[in-house]
Amino acid sequence: MLIKRLFILLIAIAFSAASVPAHGQPQVRIGDVTTLAGEHENKLSGLGLVVGLAGTGGTGQMTKRLLVNYAQRLGLRADPATRRLIQQLQERTNNVSAVAVTAVLSPHAKSGQKFDVVVSALDDATSLSGGTLIATPLEAFGEVYALAAGPVSLNGGAFGGQAASVTVNHPTVGRVSNGAVVEQEVPSTVFIEGRFRLLLNEPSFENARRISESINLMAPDAAVIVDPAAVEVRYPTEQFVSAHEFVAACQEQLIVPDGPALVVINERTGTIAFGEHVKVSTAGIAHGNLVVTTVANQQVSQPAPFSEGQTTVTEEGRVDVAREQGYLSVVNEPATVGDLVASLNALGVTPRDLSIIFQMLKESGALHATIELK
């Protein structure tokens, strides 16, 4: 058994090393660009009360009704003393706050495990500092999956008196560390008839192809492309000891992801981001008294004698930017968008001008990418 496990590990390492591209492009693990179908987070929420506040709680009707309902659930109902207590609760609630309790339950969470919850005031409370969350059921689709309670921790608060006050960060939102306990496990089904699916975080036919090829190098004919968003993988029982080991090996495989041709422009900060697939064709730009021309020279690379190499042709791009009055020259060769941005930034072009230039290039058909403005 041990020898077989070591053999499987060596196979995974060998194929991972073989998948490293010679040209040095960045690689990522398959597990970082995909999600295992049937294995997802679950959002939980509940309505609760934070008690023990020093006069910073809520005073609205919702807070009072929640507090009365809580007292009645504890058995305080009809006798005269109880009615007087309820009346007092309705008159004074500034040491209590009605809160929304939210949490994210990780997949495969087991009964008894603990996790953090976020507590947010729903009423007119000014601060939750020093408060304690009383036991609050956390639900999803009408089912209770966890129970939350504990002291509320704030990274800030509201301080001061009648003359002046200071608020640090957000005093009406806090966290209860390890405050929730799993009471009911969320069922998750990963394997269906010996198969599982890898869901691509960014659907792409090319990335789906690369993922399936990488897995098939390790386990031949195990992976098939379902659509741009999913790759289905068959568990090869003859190669791997357990299905979970095979899933882990698949997620550790490396690929070079294919990114979209996208230019993202943030005019407020002057930031421009783009990927390697963004191309600029022959173009000439006159923006105000600014003239931009794109140039690229073809370079022929010859192999050394008797090296059995091949002759290759590469492009060396250049962008010329100048401030002129009315002259514009166009060279019928392409340049890279990186050269274009670098030249415009060196000239001190404003972010708004950069945005306009890129949009005009897109409209003229010279910029082969999608522009996204932030």
What residue segments make up the domains of the chain, in order of their start?
Answer: 2-39+190-255, 42-158+166-182, 262-373
Residue 352 has pLDDT above 50, yes or no: yes
Token pair recorded at residue 104? 């994210």
- Give me the chain's average pLDDT, please: 77
For the CA atoms of the chain, what is the radius of gyration?
31
Token pair recorded at residue 355? 């945005």
Residue 93 has pLDDT above 80, yes or no: no
What is the pLDDT confidence band of residue 117, given thresholds at 50, 70 and 90? very high
DSSP codes joined into one string, 123-147: SS-S--TT-EEEEEEEEETTEEEEE
User: In terms of pLDDT, which residue wins out, 347 or 171?
Assistant: 171
Residue 19 has pLDDT above 50, yes or no: no
CATH classification of 2-39+190-255 is 3.90.930, yes or no? no
Which has the closest alpha carbon to 93: 132, 48, 63? 63
Residue 185 has pLDDT above 80, yes or no: yes
Model pLDDT, residue 8: 42
Residue 270 has pLDDT above 90, yes or no: no
Residue 9's identity, in one-letter code, is: L
What percent of the chain stands above pLDDT 90?
A: 31
Model pLDDT, residue 14: 43
Which has the closest alpha carbon to 334: 363, 293, 301? 293
DSSP codes joined into one string, 153-169: B-S-EEEE-SS-EEEES
Mean pLDDT computed over 223-252:
89
Residue 1 has pLDDT above 60, yes or no: no
Mean pLDDT computed over 149-155:
89
Which of 8-22, 155-169, 255-269 is least confident?
8-22
Mean pLDDT computed over 121-143:
91
What percent of the chain stands above pLDDT 70?
A: 66
Instruction: Determine the distance from the C-alpha atom of residue 235 to the mean position of all C-alpha atoms in its chain, rounded to a whole number.
Output: 29
Residue 3 has pLDDT above 60, yes or no: no
User: In terms of pLDDT, which residue wins out, 121 or 352?
Assistant: 121
DSSP codes joined into one string, 257-289: PPPP-EEEEETTTTEEEE-TT-EE-S-EEEETT
28-42, 53-67, 294-308, 359-373: range with highest mean pLDDT: 28-42
Model pLDDT, residue 314: 60
66-80, 87-101, 222-236, 331-345: range with highest mean pLDDT: 222-236
Model pLDDT, residue 298: 58
Q: How far apart are CA 220 and CA 199, in angstroms?
A: 20
Model pLDDT, residue 326: 45
Model pLDDT, residue 15: 45
